[in-house]
Amino acid sequence: MSSPVTLVWFRNDLRLADNPALSAAIARGGAVVPVFIWAPEEETPWEPGGASRWWLHQSLVSLDADLSRLGTRLILRKGPTLDTLIALLRETGADAVHWNRRYEPQVIARDTAIKEGLGRQGYGVESHGAALLHEPWTVQNQSGKPFQVFTPFWKHCLGKPDPSEPLPPPGKMRAPGRWPAGVELSSLGLEPGIPWAGGMKNAWTPGEDGAHRQLETFLKGGLSDYSDQRNRPDLAGTSRLSPHLHFGEISPRQIWHGVRKRATAAPAKASATKPSGAFERMAKSSLPDAQNWRTSQFLAEVGWREFAHHLLFHFPKTPAEPLRQNFTRFPWRSDAALLKAWQKGRTGYPIVDAGMRELWTTGWMHNRVRMIVASFLVKDLMISWSEGAAWFWDTLVDADLAQNTLGWQWTAGCGADAAPFFRVFNPVSQGEKFDPQGQYVRKWCPELARLPDNWLHQPFEAPAAVLKDAGISLGRTYPEPVVLHGTARNIALDAYARVSKGTS
């Protein structure tokens, strides 16, 4: 009797280590055929954006190279997915398909239909959990309902047994007796000449090796100061693991146990300053150690990723609708010129413009600055959070539907555990606090580089002589503010008050 042949359907799990679907397929004892199927139309309206497609292209190149070192290869095909899987099963003589689960509403519906369709054809199908520490349906409050506040959610998660140790990478894989044909990666059209691709190439190393190098760099050089430096865009204080996590080049279990091993091997370091920022309530110490590493600020941020997927799973309409229904009446402004000024980093507020230019150049933006630019769009410009979410979706290399939705609804005040709407970030004071020497603004807004620190974040208030000495002509070399923050804040708060009272 011949050994079984198994298809492994790769999706957002582009790694060999800690890949449950791959490990289970290998454990069957027969040949394994790794496949990737490009069918973005099956994820409409949230098919991958431009920056995500660029990253996906590079990650598929890396995965194929990793597989080739094991004597196998990655088969690329175009959808429809169900028809393609059936064709591959027949061409290879395989009798089963394994994959790792995803949690976006459209993908869940598609995967359910595929599982049923393959089952009707008599094929074996098994899905695995690989993208989260805990499956969304296994975390419930005392009433058996989903959590809508982060702190009790994460406390509940921390009360569960630690995630199991990551699975090792395969040492070898059996190739099938006959290989099916595939298409060339270039035919998928993942690199359609994106204007900002050059900047992304300089900023990132997609792939499993790049992900683990980034984790190791962070654990050695950034973890100990994370609570103090994570809000400083002028410093290398964050892990920059988000795109690697989104594409599954590294798993949250690998990060969890990486922190554990680092913490239990390193002596504790006293925190110099009090942690600050939106999530400071979960910070217990600056350096995880053998006693407190589970409640460290960095793992709490991994927890926010878990929380985002928990919410998306239980509230699948939130990518398009506010969780708090009273916000459906909010009088959002439709202004193409203001939206474009925000998108292109031409608002006249340096910290906002620096963030939007960093995004356009590298496909990424520091998290503190994400909150600042988001607040500016929805509260200073009164433009809907959905417009911001759509722009981030297309331009972020870590564009993740769950986290993008949570972040924008958090800022707009219309989601779960959201910041209150009346919390309006002042772009001047935020810049002065988190970019005190102006290194971040000077990097991304070089036309302001010669301004003294005390005027850098508010050039529109600088004396004419100071602007002249710095070579700045407001409205010509750098834009004047598109709105006055104080006035815009009052307009937004008045609109919110009317919505809250039901008078709008």
Is there a domain that residue 493 lies in? yes
Same domain, 273 and 413: no
The tally of domains found in the chain comes to 3
- Domain of residue 361, CATH code: 1.10.579.10
- Domain of residue 77, CATH code: 3.40.50.620
pLDDT digits (tens, 9 = 90+) for 392-426: 999 999 999 999 999 999 999 999 887 788 889 99
364 neighbors 397 (Cβ within 8 angstroms): yes
Residue type, 229: Q
Q: Is residue 3 very low, low, confident or very high in pLDDT (cuts 50, 70, 90)?
A: confident
Q: What is the mean pLDDT of residues 100-104?
A: 98
Same domain, 442 and 300: no
Q: What Å distances lie between residue 259 and 17, 154, 207, 239, CA to CA?
A: 17, 17, 21, 12
Query: Given this model, what pLDDT does residue 345 score?
Result: 98
Is there a domain that residue 179 lies in? no
Is there a domain that residue 180 lies in? no
Whole-prediction pTM value?
0.93
Same domain, 294 and 384: no
Of 112, 130, 148, the residue that ends a domain is 130
Same domain, 161 and 300: yes
427 neighbors 376 (Cβ within 8 angstroms): yes
Q: Going by C-beta distance under 8 Å and a sequence separation of 6 or more, which residues neighbour residue 277?
A: 230, 231, 368
Phi, psi for 77 (deg, rounded to 5): -140, 165
Same domain, 230 and 335: no
Of 256, 283, 314, the residue that ends a domain is 314
Q: Which two tokens stand for residue 486?
A: 């104080």
Q: Going by C-beta distance under 8 Å and a sequence separation of 6 or more, which residues neighbour residue 392?
A: 359, 370, 399, 404, 408
Query: How many whole angstroms separate alpha carbon 379 and alpha carbon 389?
Result: 15
pLDDT digits (tens, 9 = 90+) for 256-268: 999 999 988 855 4
Same domain, 285 and 346: no
Query: Given this model, what pLDDT does residue 275 score?
Result: 35
pLDDT digits (tens, 9 = 90+) for 339-350: 999 999 999 999
Q: Across 263-347, where does the E strand assignment appear?
A: none
Same domain, 413 and 487: yes
Same domain, 442 and 494: yes
Same domain, 405 and 488: yes
Same domain, 228 and 333: no
- Catalytic residue list: 301, 304, 332, 367, 385, 408
Q: Which two tokens stand for residue 312?
A: 């998306």
User: Three-class SS string for 14-69?
Assistant: CCCCCCHHHHHHHHCCCCEEEEEEECHHHHCCCCCCHHHHHHHHHHHHHHHHHHHC
What percent of the chain is modeled with pLDDT above 90?
86
Same domain, 149 and 104: no
pLDDT digits (tens, 9 = 90+) for 141-193: 999 999 999 999 999 999 999 999 999 999 989 999 889 999 999 999 998 66
165 neighbors 78 (Cβ within 8 angstroms): no
Q: Which domain holds residue 481?
A: 325-501
Q: Which two tokens stand for residue 158?
A: 């921390």
Is there a domain that residue 262 lies in? yes
Same domain, 76 and 18: yes
Q: Is residue 292 very low, low, confident or very high in pLDDT (cuts 50, 70, 90)?
A: confident
Is there a domain that residue 173 lies in? no
Q: Does position 287 have pLDDT exceeding 60, yes or no?
A: no
The length of the chain in residues reads 504
- Domain of residue 242, CATH code: 1.25.40.80
Is there a domain that residue 13 lies in? yes
- The half-sphere exposure of 232 on its side-chain side, counting CA atoms within 13 A, is 17
Of 291, 314, 337, the residue that ends a domain is 314
Distance of CA 216 to the CA centre of its chain: 19
Distance of CA 330 to the CA centre of its chain: 27
What percent of the chain is modeled with pLDDT above 70?
93
